[in-house]
A = this chain, B = another copy of it.
Amino acid sequence: MTAKHTADDLLPEGLADALPQEAATMTRIMRSVLDAMDAHGYDRVRPPLVEFEHSLASRMDGVTPRRMFRFTDPASLRTLALRSDMTVQIGRIAATALADAPRPLRLCYAGEVATIRADQLDPARQRLQMGAELIGSGSVAAASEAVALAVAALEGAGLTGISVDFTLPDLVDALADKALPLAPDKIAAVRRELDMKDAGGLADAGGADYLPLLYAAGPLDEAFEKLAALDAGGVLASRLEGVRAIGEQLGEGVRVTLDPTELHGFEYQSWIGFTLYAEGARGAVGRGGTYTIRGTEEPAVGFSLYIEPLLEALGIETPVRDTLFLPTGHDREAARRLRALGWRTVAAITGEEDPRALGCTHRLDETEAQPL
Q: Which residues of A contact B (CB under 8 A)?
A: 1-6, 8-20, 22-24, 26-27, 31, 34, 38-41, 43-52, 54-55, 58-59, 69-71, 73-76, 78, 80, 82, 89, 92-93, 95-100, 102-104, 106-107, 111-112, 114, 116-118, 125-126, 134, 136-137, 139, 141-142, 145, 249, 295-296, 298, 323, 328, 332, 339, 343-350, 353-354, 357-358
Question: Which of A48, A93, A249, A298 has the largest number of chain B CB atoms within 10 A?
Answer: A48
Known: A92-B9, A99-B2, A298-B1. A349 touches B141 (CB 8 A): yes
State whether A4 touches B295 (Cβ < 8 A). Answer: yes
Q: What are 27 inter-chain pairs, A to B, with CB distance below 8 A?
A: A1-B296, A4-B296, A9-B92, A10-B52, A11-B48, A12-B75, A12-B80, A13-B75, A16-B48, A17-B47, A19-B97, A20-B45, A24-B43, A24-B44, A39-B344, A41-B358, A49-B49, A50-B126, A70-B71, A74-B116, A102-B353, A104-B349, A111-B112, A137-B350, A139-B350, A141-B328, A141-B350
Do A5 and B96 touch (CB < 8 A)?
yes
Q: Which of B3, B111, B141 contacts A96 (CB 8 A)?
A: B3
Copies of this chain, count: 2
Choose one: B19, B116, B346; the contact of A45 (CB below 8 Å).
Answer: B19
**In the assembled complex, which residues on chain B have CB atoms less than 8 Å from the CB atom of A47?**
17-18
7 more A-B residue pairs beyond the given contacts A8-B52, A20-B43, A49-B126, with a C-beta to C-beta distance below 8 A: A3-B95, A12-B52, A19-B98, A24-B44, A40-B345, A40-B346, A49-B114
User: Are B102 and A357 neighbours in the complex by a CB distance under 8 Å?
Assistant: yes
Given contacts A3-B100, A4-B296, A31-B31, contact A93 B19 (CB under 8 A): yes
Q: Most B CB atoms within 10 A — which of A2, A8, A40, A92?
A: A8
Whether B69 contacts A50 by the Cβ 8 Å rule is yes
In the complex, what distance in Å separates the CA atom of A347 from the CA atom of B96? 24
Evaluate contact between A354 and B102: CB separation under 8 angstroms: yes
Q: How many Å lie between the Cα of A45 and that of B92 in the bound state?
A: 31
Closest to A342 in B: B39
Looking at the assembled complex, report how far the CB atom of A240 sits from the nearest CB atom of chain B, in whole angstroms. 21
In the complex the two chains form, what is the Cα distance from A45 to B16 in whole Å?
11
Given contacts A48-B15, A50-B69, whether A347 and B145 have CB atoms under 8 Å apart is yes
Contact pick for A345, options B39, B249, B296, B332, CB 8 Å: B39
Cross-chain contact of A17 among B93, B323, B350 (Cβ < 8 A): B93
Taking a contact as CB atoms under 8 Å apart, the answer to whether A39 and B343 are in contact is yes
**A82: B residues at CB distance < 8 A:** 49-50, 69, 82
B48 touches A20 (CB 8 A): no
Q: Is the CB of B249 within 8 A of A332?
A: yes
Q: How far is the CA of A20 from the CA of B344 in the complex (A)?
A: 32
* Bound CA span A104–B31, Å: 28
Q: How far is the CB of A176 from chain B (nearest CB, A)?
A: 29
In the complex, the answer to whether B344 meets A38 with C-beta atoms within 8 Å is yes
B71 in contact with A45 (CB, 8 Å): no
Q: Which residues of B contact A24 (CB under 8 A)?
A: 43-44
Q: Which residues of B lie under 8 Å from residue A141 when comparing CB positions?
A: 328, 348-350
Taking a contact as CB atoms under 8 Å apart, the answer to whether B51 and A11 are in contact is: yes
Q: What separation, in Å, do the CA atoms of A74 and B97 have in the docked complex?
A: 36
Are A1 and B31 touching (Cβ within 8 A)?
Answer: no
Q: How far is the CA of A52 from the CA of B14 in the complex (A)?
A: 12
| B residues near A354, Cβ cutoff 8 Å | 102
User: Given A46-B26, A49-B49, A74-B117, is A41 in contact with B100 using a C-beta cutoff of 8 Å?
Assistant: no
